[in-house]
Amino acid sequence: MSRQSEGLQNEGIAEAWAFTAEHRQRTTFFFDFDGVLSPVTDDPDASQPVPSVLGVLEKLATVVQRVAIVSARPVSFLRSRFSSLEGVDLYGLYGLEVWHEGEVVTEPAALPWVPAMAELAERAKTELPGDVLVEYKRLSVALHYRTAPQRAGEVERWGHEQAEAKGLRIQAGRMVVELKPPVDQDKGMVITEGVRDAGCAWYFGDDMSDIKAFDALRAREAVDPSFFGVAVAVANPETGAEVSSAADLTLDSPGAVAQFLAEGLERF
């Protein structure tokens, strides 16, 4: 199935849903959380999925092979937001944690870094200004400056200094700098593995880390012409332009994602 260079238009969207419905038994839907299923909030702990999305995901999971959420959040956080859903896999911390069939599995190579991440979080709270929100995630530390955008340069410098000194990796995002262990794991790798036996896959993302997931769909198409992938961006004022340019389709908001899925499900 071909795409127009400017992305999927109405006819292309209808064709994509028709292909998905026909191949539902070999189709996977992947979603980021923040900015895709939930609006981005000043306080990360306050984020909740838009009310309409829970029912849509539950229904979707009954008609396709697999539904998964792939997020920078820990699995424990994702479980607290989606505990009512059955049959939805959760990938936390870019895939360092996985919740599947009632069990959480942590990437063994990341576990030795837990103490270092805890120490880093405490140092960040001491050395960075109080209006920078430090989010400790056990296997990563996110430094949010959404409520203090004037701190962007300071946070980025501090983060890069710590990464260089401690051998960590940096993940930039929407008004956030995240420090992670030097373990090869990202959303692109999650999708590469997740679509290995799929015939069709959709990925919904809004941030820079999601572009690797889009790339994974393209790579699978390149080696398997029968595979069809759809990359969907969610508009936002921070990373929206770059993410949308890498996607086939852009939706306006998390609410629009839920509506788009509900309308698509009517084609099944």
Which are the catalytic amino acids?
A: 32
Q: Can you tell me which residue has the tokens 């792939």?
A: 70
| C-beta separation of 37 from 56 below 8 A | no
Closest CA to 166 of 185, 144, 181, 184: 181
Our measurement of the distance from residue 228's CA atom to the centroid of its chain's CA atoms, rounded to an integer in Å, reads 20
Number of Cβ within a 10 Å radius of residue 100: 13
Q: Give the Cα separation of 137 and 246 in Å (integer).
A: 28
For the record, the structure tokens of 37 come out as 């299923």
Angstrom CA distances, 186 to 47, 91, 203, 208, 249, stand at: 22, 10, 14, 11, 22
| C-beta separation of 35 from 252 below 8 A | no
Angle between the 254-265 and 51-63 helix axes, to the nearest 10 degrees? 40
Angle between the 114-127 and 152-166 helix axes, to the nearest 10 degrees? 150
Q: Can you tell me which residue has the tokens 């990796």?
A: 169
